[in-house]
Structure 1
Amino acid sequence: MSAELLGTVIVITVAMGFNYTNGFHDAANAIATSVSTRALTPRVALGMAAVGNLLGSFLGSGVAQTVGKGIVALPENHASLGVVLAGLVGATIWNLITWAFGIPSSSSHALIGGLVGATIFAAGGVVKWMGIVEKVVLPMFLSPVVGFILGYLVMLGVMWIFRRGNPGKLNRGFRIAQTVSAFGMSVGHGMQDAAKIMGVVVLALTVGGFHEGNGIPVWVNFLTAAVLAAGTYAGGWRIIRTLGRRVIHLGPPQGFAAETTATSVLVAATSFGLPISTTHTITSAIMGVGATKRLSSVRWGVAGNIVMAWFLTFPAAGGMAMLCFFAIRPFFG
């Protein structure tokens, strides 16, 4: 086995490890509201998330190309595989730290921060700062604001339209409606987070000399979606408890409004190839929906911890990836 092939296999294996931890974080976000409102059982929600992620992975090619080619540029050689590996390891470490505390930080920004941190000192590596500002930093700040405002407005609309409805019947109806909104959220998650992982895998295949062009091999879609589902099943319930119960108590109408809002934002961003965070999007939508009750109904202390993790994720994952790069570099010289 050649050094390039071995290095590529190692990088893809670690990418799937990161993907598995992504299941702890972001795939859990996609089903958190439906499970917490008891609209879906965990087993049904998990199956829905798996199917939705697979479908969405085929629709997120624009996001995959942004992550694979719009963030960093690396020469096609064995050393570049070490850069990608260091970025993945740094992002994975940060994912595990935040998962241990039940904080829904952004796996997306951990991944991008890791790639940037590992590339800074890499020979021949170029960080595309303008692309990062336009396609990562600005959406990072705008998507939670849009999610909060849109969630607030959607929930107000739901409350006004059904203001004279019977609460019991409405809850039953919205539990059924959440089947649709939860599936939409899972598809949106696949369009974003599965696509980001696929972008990294294609980047590894490209710098290793095993792939050309902009297409994504079909096996990469299926492998990514399967590992995401496995990660969600294994450890996603910590994040579900944080989003579904600790930030604000959700009922079926609130869950439907939050999921519909988040899905709309994710689909819109994907259409422009913008890799936004599903974590930021669903969390801000939940806060916006909760604010329609009264501002005090949102547990702002928990929300503040989440926001702090958002700001720390990019530099923290980048710093860890930088340290990993110096440790890994001798093996990829």
Structure 2
Amino acid sequence: MDAADVVLALVVLTALAFDFTNGFHDTANAMATSIATRALSARKAVALAAVLNFVGAFLSLEVAATIAEDIVDPAAITPAIILAGLLGGILWNLLTWRLGLPSSSSHALIGGVVGAVVVAAGFDAVEADGLVGEVLVPSVIAPVLALVVAGLATFVVFRRIRDWLPDRIQSSFRHGQLASASLVALSHGTNDAQKTMGVITLALVAHGSLDRGAGVPAWVVVCAAAAISLGTAIGGWRIIRTVGHRLTEINAAQGFSAETSGAMVILAASHAGFPLSTTHVTSGAVLGAGVGRRAAEVRWGVAGQMVVAWLLTLPAAALIAAVAYLGVDELGGEVVGPLVVSAAAAVAAVGLFLQAQRNAPITAKDV
């Protein structure tokens, strides 16, 4: 195994590590509302999400193709660039998880790759049309669309059930939430696992072991699906609490409306190949469910904190990735640089995790 093979292996392992953090960071996307309404226990909800994330990863490869071909110029990509981009995404994921903020893992990954590419090869290596048309524009439209659809759905549902007793509403819609939450988990696997597939495919092309346009190898699909599923199984309790309880008080009818609306938007985007933020979409849908119910309290201050995190994600992950790439380049991009920078990032990641668990542990009982 030569130096290039060692770096490729490191990139693939780091990509799967990112996929793992994506899983526990974004568990809330699928199950926060079902847990909040007690349609499912926290642990059962997370286990169901893990299984369906795995299955969803096999439904489409359109998003993976977008990541591999339309965001940055594949000819400018090297394994060291991809490694730095992944490290930027992982560290930003862990930082926002530590703060309990449901930021976008997708934008963290894309921002990281773009930041590393700009430092290494300049702005010309960024596919501006693809970045704007397939990432930035959908990132604005999708959560607003989910908010509007969920708001209208909630309004219509409550018009139909206005004479129902609260106990009947809860018992009826809790069953519906089993289906709607499952659909969100399936759609999350379909959209989010593909981003890791696309990045690994980029690395394989850069390494020369895969021809450009050859498609995603089967082993990459299986590994990415398994990594995001395992991450989901860990349970992102901090972010589940934010989405399920801190944005708005939500009952089963609202949860059903939010989950169904969010899943529709995510699946449509996945079919079109847009690597949008499932976090943005599901959070927008939860807000919509709060707006659509008369007299429901929506905590716009919490929503504002989330929007700030969303706006910071792309540039922050890009900055971290740029610093990581500069470190790799300074130490030597063949083997020493990637190994040393990866080790430093691993220490920082473990430090963030241990600090969070020591200072403010959040468990399934807290959600």
Range of TM-score over shorter length: over 0.9
Q: In the alignment, what sits opposite 2:134?
A: 135
2:27–2:235 contact (8 Å) kept in structure 1: no
Please give the secondary structure, in 2, of the residue aligned with 1:60: coil
Compared with structure 1, are the counterparts of its residues 52 and 235 closer, same or farther at alpha carbon in structure 2 (3 Å cutoff)?
closer
Q: CA deviation at 1:203?
A: 1.1
Q: Where does 1:87-236 land on structure 2 (aligned, <5 Å)?
A: 87-123=85-121, 126-212=125-211, 213-236=213-236
Deviations 1:168-206 (A, max 9, x none): 122112111111101100111011111111111111112
1:246–1:299 contact (8 Å) kept in structure 2: yes
1:60–1:190 contact (8 Å) kept in structure 2: no
Q: TM-score, normalised by structure 1?
A: 0.95
Q: Does 2:281 match 1:281?
A: yes
Q: Does 2:306 match 1:306?
A: yes
1:50–1:226 contact (8 Å) kept in structure 2: no
Q: In the alignment, what sits opposite 1:264?
A: 264
Please give the secondary structure, in 2, of the residue aligned with 1:72: coil
Please give the secondary structure, in 1, of the residue aligned with 2:229: helix
- For 1:259 and 1:214, how far apart are their aligned partners in 2? 35
Q: In the alignment, what sits opposite 1:85?
A: 83
- For 1:173 and 1:235, how far apart are their aligned partners in 2? 26
- For 1:241 and 1:198, how far apart are their aligned partners in 2? 29
Unaligned runs of 5+ residues in structure 2 are 335-367
Deviations 1:13-54 (A, max 9, x none): 111111121122223321111112111122322222122212
- For 1:249 and 1:290, how far apart are their aligned partners in 2? 7
Q: Partner letter of residue 177 of structure 1?
A: G
- For 2:214 and 2:192, how far apart are their aligned partners in 1? 18
Deviations 1:281-331 (A, max 9, x none): 000110011012357711111111000001010111111111111001243
- For 1:11 and 1:101, how far apart are their aligned partners in 2? 27
Number of equivalences: 331
Please give the secondary structure, in 2, of the residue aligned with 1:45: helix
Q: CA deviation at 1:167?
A: 2.5
Single out whichever of 208-217 and 135-144 deviates more from structure 2. Answer: 208-217
Q: CA deviation at 1:140?
A: 0.9
Q: Partner letter of residue 246 of structure 2?
A: R
Q: Partner letter of residue 149 of structure 1?
A: V
Deviations 1:136-172 (A, max 9, x none): 1111111111111111001011112222333312211
- For 2:226 and 2:55, how far apart are their aligned partners in 1? 12
Q: CA deviation at 1:224?
A: 1.8
1:24–1:239 contact (8 Å) kept in structure 2: no
Q: Where does 1:314-325 land on structure 2 (aligned, <5 Å)?
A: 314-325=314-325
Following TM superposition, where does structure 1 have runs of at least 4 consecutive aligned residues deviating by more than 4 angstroms? none
- For 1:295 and 1:117, how far apart are their aligned partners in 2? 44
Unaligned runs of 5+ residues in structure 1 are none
1:152–1:285 contact (8 Å) kept in structure 2: yes
- For 1:234 and 1:186, how far apart are their aligned partners in 2? 15
Please give the secondary structure, in 2, of the residue aligned with 1:120: helix
Please give the secondary structure, in 2, of the residue aligned with 1:103: coil
Q: Partner letter of residue 238 of structure 1?
A: R
Compared with structure 1, are the counterparts of its residues 289 and 296 closer, same or farther at alpha carbon in structure 2 (3 Å cutoff)?
closer
- For 2:238 and 2:161, how far apart are their aligned partners in 1? 33
- For 1:10 and 1:83, how far apart are their aligned partners in 2? 12
Please give the secondary structure, in 2, of the residue aligned with 1:275: coil
Supply the RMSD in Å over aligned alpha carbons. Answer: 1.7
1:19–1:197 contact (8 Å) kept in structure 2: yes
The percentage of counterpart residues that share the same residue type is 44
Q: TM-score, normalised by structure 2?
A: 0.86
Compared with structure 1, are the counterparts of its residues 28 and 223 closer, same or farther at alpha carbon in structure 2 (3 Å cutoff)?
farther
Single out whichever of 301-310 and 221-230 deviates more from structure 2. Answer: 221-230
Single out whichever of 205-214 and 12-21 deviates more from structure 2. Answer: 205-214
2:146–2:281 contact (8 Å) kept in structure 1: yes
